[in-house]
Structure 1
């Protein structure tokens, strides 16, 4: 290689290295700017959350008189809450026959979200005098401890002698449970003693976010077995009508054939 060629080669490598350094510097600056922009986005998200929380608190207060009025009206309907729970696909899977019997004494359900919504909520179940436990009310509360971790606590159920449903592992599932192939459901009432995962309490969230906002939609769910039975009856009726129609058509055809024959004989006699 000549001296001139060597100089050109060194110059090209030097330019290439410079380009790499410039590219890396630009990338680093871009990353720093992205981080700054992201901080602004996070700040706005936090501000939005605070404003949304204030709106939720405002409308929670506005909804309270309507919830109260709804509870007064529900109290006029026997077995409203047990029917609602049995008709709900997720809750019904937790109900054995004896759970359902106990819930026939459930007269009122109330969900209360704390003023600082982020801190939690409470679900209260009010019962009439019943053969299962002494309590007039059972509650489960969800909140956040000092460390910011979700926790829960609940009323201790004072079971009457021999009536503790949480100790009966062989409960017979109700009809809804059978449909969903839950052969041995846990008792609904074990939920009151389960505090293992307060941050993801499925039953609590279903009651608070799905059932409580509009329990009427589940109370009014028609019995699927009745619907299926009605459908079969309709099919049977339609089949019966088809058979009758076919029979009438066949008889009509026979009469026509007989009529044609008689006409033929008459024509013959006239000839």
Structure 2
């Protein structure tokens, strides 16, 4: 590689490019339309399978729910085995409050199954009077969205779904027994600004319970709970899920990529 990171083309590279039959392939509007339609149909079928899978799994999840309630501190242990969740729950007071958690449930939106409400059920505790804390990811249908279902119940709005555009995380009011000792007041979340106006930086996560009382879910903790921890709750409890190993593999891949091409942009990772 030349000085300054500029790559030099090998001798004859231009000639090879001119003679390469794959270098100047053009896609006609008709072919582009065919590809879009094929991709859309695959996406539609994946939605059908996802919805059917959730329906089939529901009875088994309900049965598992009753079993988990009989295991002492099942959910606090399972949640703390996840690195992202444990990062949010570092304060000893948070962990004490979490020890009263006895059930976690995910209720899927009947209109858009990718949206959901997390429900954390607590037994009587010295911190708050709520017996359930909720975090809703509310579906906001775009204006003039086509909601006419096909034979499989799939709508055009579902095919055009965008999590960033169509979902709003909601705040939930916690009724603290002693407001002046509310964990979210004792350990507030501290936000900062970065060079990128579209990228928020959290300096200090503060209390875990800011996750419920503040609407934004910057690091997708709720998505992690619903789609990873909840679905593999027993595996988390038993310590059979190593999410740190996944992160390590991704970093190794990035390092390997840099050895090949130092100018290749690195993928943007979530900040925690």
TM range (shorter): 0.5 to 0.7
RMSD: 2.6
Higher helix share: 1
Return closer, same or farther for 1:61/1:158 CA change in 2, 3 Å cut-off.
same
What does residue 212 of structure 1 align with?
Answer: 230
SS in 2 for 1:93: helix
SS in 1 for 2:176: coil
Please tell me whether the aligned partners of residues 171 and 214 of structure 2 are also in contact (alpha carbons under 8 angstroms). Answer: no
Per-residue CA distance 1:134-191 (angstroms, 9 max, x = gap): 10111111133243532122431111114311111399xxxxxxxxxxx965211101
What does residue 36 of structure 1 align with?
Answer: 30
Q: Any runs of at least 4 consecutive aligned residues in structure 1 with deviations exceeding 6 A, and if so which?
A: none
Higher relative contact order (CA 8 A, sep 6+): 2
Q: 1:195 offset after TM fit, Å?
A: 2.2
SS in 2 for 1:142: strand
- Normalised TM-score (structure 2): 0.60
Q: How many residue pairs align between the two structures?
A: 180
Please tell me whether the aligned partners of residues 57 and 117 of structure 1 are also in contact (alpha carbons under 8 angstroms). Answer: no
What does residue 207 of structure 2 align with?
Answer: 187
Q: 1:210 offset after TM fit, Å?
A: 1.1
Tell me, in whole angstroms, the C-alpha distance in 1 between the residues paired with 2:39 and 2:168: 26
Return closer, same or farther for 1:119/1:78 CA change in 2, 3 Å cut-off.
closer
Among 76, 81, 90, which residue is 1:82 paired with? 76
Query: Looking at CA atoms only, which structure, 1 or 2, has the larger radius of gyration?
Result: 1
Per-residue CA distance 1:61-119 (angstroms, 9 max, x = gap): 11011111111001111111111122211111111111110011111000122234455
What does residue 176 of structure 2 align with?
Answer: 159
Tell me, in whole angstroms, the C-alpha distance in 2 between the residues paired with 1:115 and 1:221: 33
What does residue 46 of structure 1 align with?
Answer: 40
Comparing 50-59 with 95-104, greater Cα deviation is found at: 50-59
Return closer, same or farther for 1:32/1:118 CA change in 2, 3 Å cut-off.
farther
- Normalised TM-score (structure 1): 0.60
Within the alignment, does 1:136 sit opposite 2:156 as a pair?
A: no
Tell me, in whole angstroms, the C-alpha distance in 2 between the residues paired with 1:207 and 1:121: 11
Structure 1 gap segments, 5+ residues each:
1-29, 172-182, 223-271
